[in-house]
Each structure stands twice: as C-alpha cells, then as structure tokens.
Structure 1
Amino acid sequence: MLKKYKILVVVTEFPSVSETFILNQITDLIDKGHSITIFSYNHNKNSFAHQLYYDYNLADLTITHFKNEKTNWHFLKGIITFFFKYRTQITYSKLFKLLNPLKWKENRAKAKVFYDLPVFLLNTHFDLVHCHFGFNGRKVAEAMRIGVCSARKAIVSFHGSDLTPSKINIYQNVYKDLFFFFDAFIVNSIYLQEILFQVKGDLDKCYLLPEGFKTSYLNQFLSTVKISPKFNIVFCGRLIQWKGPDLAIKIVKKLVDRGTADILFHLIGNGEMMGELRRLVKELHLEENVILYGALSQEQVFKIMAGSDVFLLPGIQEPHSKRSEAQGLVIQEAQFFKLPLLVGNVGGVKYGMLNGTTGFLIEENNMEVFVEKILFLYQNPEKRIKMGEKGHDWVKNEFEISLLGNKLIKVYDLLN
C-alpha cells in the first residue's frame, strides 16, 4: 500500500496568480490522498483567485502569517485571530519555556523562529515540509538548526527568482544551512540545475522535476471558439524586462507595418512595465491591434489562449542580474492549447518545447526573425495547425501534473 504523507507546504504568497505551478502541485497531492497544510507568508495580492483554489477549499488548509499585514491594527488582529483559531492546537509549553531566564540567549533564537514560523507552535507533526523557493527554505533550515521544526524531512523547490545568476556568491553564504539541513533539492530545468551546481557543486540529492499543468482542468477550455476573426497573438507573463513584453509590442508594430493589419495582440499580465507599455502602444499607434488586460484569472487566460493562433514570448537575459526564464509553465500551457510558440532562446525555455516542431526558438532581441516566423505561420495555416497539434500531444506526455506528481512522491519515498 502506498504511504500517505502529512505535508507542510511553505510558500511566499497563497494563492498567487502568477504561481499556478504551486497550486497545481498541491491539488495533485490532495488528489493522491496526502494531507496538506499550507503556510503562506502573504495573502493573495489580487482581488481574485484561480478556480482550483475554491474547488479544493484550499482556504481551509491555509495558515497565513500575520507579520506582513499592512497596518499595526491588522497585525494585532492577525495575532489574535491566529491564537484564537488554533487555541486547541497550540503547544503552550513551547511558549512557556521561552520565559526561562537561564536560557535567554537560546530562547531568543527560538522566539524569533516561532515568530517567523508560528505553524511550528501547533501540536501537529509532519512527515515532511516542502518549501517553495530557497528563501523560504532558509527560514525552515533555521528552525531545524535550533531544533523546533515539527517535520522529519525537508525539501525545497527552486523556481528561478531564488537562483539569480548574478548572486551566486551571495547564495553560497545564505544557503549554507539550507544545504546542510535539507534532505532533497528540486529544480524545474537543466538550466536552473546548472546554476544551483555553481552555488554548491557537490550537492547531493538534487532532482530535476518540471512544473506541470492539470490536464483534467485544462480540457474544458479546448473547445473555446476563436476569440476574434483576426490573427490572434497572445503573450502571458509578468510585465518585467526579461520577459520581453515591450519587444513583443514592437514585433507587432513591424507586422502591421508590413501589411498584416488584421493582427490582434493579447497582452496578459501585470507588473512594473505596465505604464511604459501603455505609452508604447499609444506612441506606435497600435490601439486597434493591442489589448492590455492586466492580471487575469487562470480561467480567463485559458479561454484567450484556446481561442488564439500563436503564442509569443520574446524573453531576454536581463543585463544586470543575468536572470531569464527558468522554465515558464505558460509555455507548456500554450502548447497544450495547440498554439505554436515563438519564444526567445534564453534560460531553460528550450527544454520545454521542441524547436521547429512545436514552435520556434529564436535568439534574443532578433525581432526580424520573430517577424518572419510569425508571418510564416500567418501565411501557412495548415502548418500552424499541425505544429499546434504536435505541441499538444508532446506536453501531455511530459508536463501533466499527475505524471510529475508520481515522480515527486518517489522523491518523498526515498526520504522516508
């Protein structure tokens, strides 16, 4: 009989609109019969959440920290709410022991950890704690170092923002306890694994496990009718420099200037570049060709994808941080919806598609090649459809969360 685990999942924000891979993994673990508790440092920053969050009643499984509340009143209210809600589950002896004046130095360190991870005040014992992002793993590593972690084993999944190439020397210091106390390390691409090995070359128990999508959930959107009679290009991602949303708009401008005026570009996402992108659209007179949606729910994104023709993500390597796309689950989701890809050849993107078969991998900043490949797909609908079908078939076998979840459970089994 397969072992069922009691798992504590530690995340930065939950639910996060931009981190659907965490949501997919959690719901798959629940589907497989495992018991999940989610500890989040922040509330959802958006006014909406993805439907899966509600379908699985994940609010009931989530403990959200009170320390990052916006005002002192909300902070105080958060503390009171925590102690009232979990009053029958808190191990009060852990708090009383902190008052021992003979161990004030040791107790000060423990008090800091309990403040940072109040979930460890509960009388619940976990088979393992699974941290998403290295910076959250650091906090749990500190709890393990001073002996207050209530989980037997610890795993961390790196996703990209926690392994910025320009900060390797910093990580070698700040991740020391993480590497010493944790039992397994997961990366989502070969690209990210190579960065991790630059931080610690002799790292043991490192596993490659991509982020995945939930086929049973995506299937309902496949029959979506085309959203516009025009040629629909879609971009989806945070509006930051290294994802290339400004380049995407400039590519659309070149297409329009070459006579393909029946193009409609759907730019989905929010971020620091939104104001700049709005100005760029106006400056290039593309108001009739570009729609800037802002952040959307997963359901809205999938409907737009399923009703579009191609997916465009002209990502680059950010000049200063050297950061680029580690995997980009949205690239696999686009292929599931039978969209040929036009993506920048940076980071780990090439490991999540088949160049020339499911789309085109194009050198960063080469806008002319992006334009030529889009025109090729625009002028050859039968080849575009065939490429989309191949992408759909390929990602179903490589990135379906249930299959990837089985591999994750094997990692858990190795630790137990």
Structure 2
Amino acid sequence: MRIAIVVNKFPVLTETFIVNQITSLIDGGHDVTILSLTKGETENCHEAIRQYHLLDKVHYLIKEPKRKITRFTFFIKYLLKNSKRYKVSKVIKALNIFRYKTQAVSLHTFYRNQWFLGEDFDVIHAHFASVGVFVTGLRKDGFFPKSKLAVSFHGSDIIPQNIERYKQNYKLLFEKMNLITYNSEYTLAVLEKTTTIDSRFKLLPVGLDVNKFKTAETIVRKEPFEILFCGRLVNFKAPDLAVEIVNELVKKGHNIHLSIVGEGPLQKKLKDLIHNYGLEQNISLLGAISQEQIVAHLRKTAVFLLPGITEEETKRAENQGLVIQEAQAMQVPVVVSDAGGMKYGLVDNVTGFVVKEKDIHSFVKKLETLIQNEPLRMEMGKKGRAFVAEHFDSKVLYHKLLRYYNLLLDENFTH
C-alpha cells in the first residue's frame, strides 16, 4: 500500500506517536512517504528516525517564491531535476489555465500540489485538522481523486472554546475525509459538538512500542521516593498543582523527589513556587528531553503524576496523554485527574488512580497509599504494562489502522 503521512512539521520531539505509526507501517511492508509543510529539528530527534532513515523519506513543501522571475526559473529547474517523480499529465493539469485561470498562470497550483504530481497514493493520512484542511482544499481543486483521505484529531485541533469557529473552518474537512480518527472518548465528545458523527469516525489512540519501554528485571528503588511529571508546562496539564501536591507531602514528612520534564510558559511560575516553598532539594526542572531520556527517568520512578485540569477560559483538557501509557509500560503506577480523556488510558484502582481534578487532598492520599505500600505499587505496575500491551502497543494499533485503511480501499465502501 502506498501511504502518504502528511504533517505540519517533521520531526517534532514531542510527537513520538507519529513516528510510532510510521515505523509500524514500514514494518508492515508498506511504502510510506512523509510530506511535511515545514522542517523540524533534525539534530535532537528520536532514535527511530535514524534507525528507519525517516529523514530520507521526507519531502518538505517548497514555498512559492514571491518574485515572478524566481518562481518560473525555479519551476523549470525543479522539473528538470525531479523529472522521474512527476507525471506529465498531472503537471499539465496543474497548469490548466481554463480551470485554474490566474492560479495556473502564476504557478500557484503547481506549488500547492507539488507533492501529488507523481504516482497516486492509496491513502493520504493527515495528522491534525489544520493539515487535513490543507489536504481537503487540494482535493476540492480536483487533485488525487482516487486517493482515500484520512485525518487524525489529537487535541490541540479540537479545543472546546473554538467549536463555533471549527464548524466553519472544518466544514470541507468533514465533507471530504473518508476516515476521521480520534484518540479518546473525550475527543469524540468535543467532535460531537462540532459536526454530525457517522461511520467514518473511528477510535484510534496514539500508541507506543511496548518493547522499547522495558524496565529492569529487578526493580530496586531507594529513597527519596521518586515521582515524575512529564508534559508541556501549560495550564491544562497543571504542573503547578504537582508542585502543590509535593509541598503537602513534604510537609507531612515524606522523603520524596519530583522530576518535572517539559518546557513551556509556566516555567517561571514553577521556579518561583519551588523557591517560595523551599523545595529546591525536592523538585527538579529538567526541561525538554528525548524519548530515550524519558525512559531512563521512568526506570527510577516510583509513581507518575499528571494532575491536569479543565482550563477555565478555553475549556481545554488533556485528550489522551500518551506519557500515561508510557509510564504504565514501564510498570510505573499512574495518578491522574479525571479531567479530559486521561481516565480512559488506565484502569482506575488497578493500574493507577483517577482523582477528582484540583483535589489536592485526594492526590496526596493516593500518593501516600503508594508510598507506603510497595507490594501494591508492584502489582499495579505489572497490570499496567499488561493493559498497555493489550490496548496501546503500536502493533495492536497498526492492525486496527490497517483494518480502517482496507475498509477505505474496499470498492463497496460508500464514503
């Protein structure tokens, strides 16, 4: 199967789920091309990108030069250099002045459709709705009529505050897409307020390669008791609440240490909170780190904490939180809030605890339970890994995605 994965930027350190999906498709024997609107950071990237030579599979969108002479000169040079990639009939179509008028004369249609002037893709899969809007705009122009279109919603593209705007901006996307995936029941609930849900909408959480999240055979964790927070330092992920929770635990005499992984606008607020509470020995701000470094931290972590909230102004909350599954894969119990879709990514009281959002007292109680009960932590850890392996492993999700793709390519499929 020829598959185009279309993204806004590649690679992106925090979007491991896209890399996981791409590598699973490659392992499945499919011909995968990555189409990226912009270029990401290529120096500090995930090991899988090097291992699978993914940078060799990326085509970045070449921006249309503003000056006419530069635009036409580059157009000729580019065609000559990449002549084997293009079909003459498709180039001629992009330059059809009767259909596209000044857009063709100015070469605008060529630059917009440059990715799709060669062999047809069986499936064009856009990640995030904004990229899906770009793809469906090209379909509206009459390009790649035979390809099936898919889009995956991940959270930042379906914020409750913006629903009325989405109804207009995503109208063409909802009309043209053959497959629309969402990562949790929470995301679906927001989509239901935006459009009519039909059989094209399918649950597809983002996943991980469980085999890359292996803990030591014998887990020896010494004091201080290690807690990990990992995520963007933004309001709805509530890293400041994590500091408040640790402050309460320290006041109760617990010897604990919290590592906060991530960066974002709340960094200064966190530094001030840590200083004001005198918690410099109990809390470390580690900034953004690689996937491999996160795994290393999880190996020495006793509990993972993500006390996210529903943001008052935007009504935004965590849609899935893949790091919750990554922690469980490392046999680390998780303690999360009931905001958004986090609660769907664990089994409450079995692989971790779900706590009412903003309830610091209840967070402290659940963490104390785990601090004081090592056998419970061990049991939750083992059950957490089994849960993730069954529901979130990349291979499991690959087979689910493949079923969706095959359904699209079925000649009897109606959408």
TM-score by length of 2: 0.90
Instruction: Tell me, in whole angstroms, the C-alpha distance in 2 between the residues paired with 1:369 and 1:68.
Output: 55
Go from structure 1 to structure 2 and tell me whether the alpha carbon gap of 1:232 and 1:82 turns closer, same or farther (over 3 Å shift).
farther
Query: Which residue pairs with 2:85 in the alignment?
Result: 89
1:387 maps to a residue whose letter is M
- For residue 186 of structure 1, the aligned residue among 167, 174, 181 is 181
Structure 1: 4+ residue segments shifted above 4 A: 78-85, 91-104, 108-114, 221-228
Q: How does 1:73-152 map to 2 (within 5 A)?
A: 86-91=82-87, 103=99, 105=101, 107=103, 111-112=107-108, 114-121=110-117, 123-149=118-144, 152=147
- Secondary structure at 2:229 match in 1: strand
Q: Could you tell me how far apart the structure 2 residues matched to 1:148 and 1:170 are?
A: 26
Q: Secondary structure at the match of 2:354?
A: strand
Residues 120, 150 of structure 1: 8 Å contact kept: no
1:47, 1:225 → 2: CA distance?
33
Percentage identity across paired residues of the two chains: 38
Gaps of 5+ in 2: 66-70, 410-415
**What's the secondary structure of 2:166's corresponding residue?**
helix
After superposition, the CA RMSD in angstroms is 2.7
For the 8 Å contact 1:17–1:46, the answer to whether it is kept is no
Structure 1 residue 107, shift from structure 2 partner? 3.2
Q: Does 1:413 align with 2:409?
A: no
Q: Is the 8 A contact 2:64 2:108 kept in 1?
A: no
Q: Which moved more, 1:40-49 or 1:300-309?
A: 40-49
**1:72 aligned partner:** none
Q: What TM-score comes out, normalization by structure 1 length?
A: 0.89
**Which one of 335, 354, 366 corresponds to residue 328 of structure 2?**
335
Where does 1:238-253 land on structure 2 (aligned, <5 Å)?
238-253=232-247
Q: Which residue pairs with 1:11 in the alignment?
A: 7
1:316-340 Cα deviation digits (max 9, x unpaired): 0111111111111111111111111
Q: Is the 8 Å Cα contact of residues 10 and 130 (structure 1) preserved in structure 2?
A: yes
Once the two structures are TM-superposed, the CA of residue 106 in structure 1 deviates from its matched residue by 6.5
| Matches of 2:20 and 2:37, distance apart in 1 | 19
Aligned to 1:42: 38
Which residue of structure 1 aligns with residue 164 of structure 2? Answer: 169
Q: Which one of 43, 54, 58 corresponds to residue 54 of structure 2?
A: 58
Superimposed CA distance per residue, residues 333-360 of structure 1 (whole angstroms, 9 cap, x where no aligned partner): 1111111111010111111111111111
Match among 258, 261, 270 for residue 265 of structure 1: 258
CA distance in 2, matches of 1:80, 1:110: 13
Paired residue total: 403
Q: Is the 8 A contact 1:126 1:150 kept in 2?
A: no
Task: Write out aligned runs for 1:191-340 (5 A).
Answer: 191-219=186-214, 221-223=215-217, 229-260=223-254, 262-340=255-333
Question: Aligned partners of 1:22 and 1:11: how far apart in 2?
Answer: 9
Q: 1:289 to 1:20 in 2, by over 3 A?
A: same
Say which SS state the counterpart of residue 408 (structure 1) adopts: helix
- Alignment partner of 1:23 is 2:19: yes
Instruction: State how far apart, in whole Å, the 2-side matches of 1:381 and 1:224 are.
Output: 13
Report the residue type matching 1:346 in the other structure: A
Q: Secondary structure at the match of 1:354?
A: coil
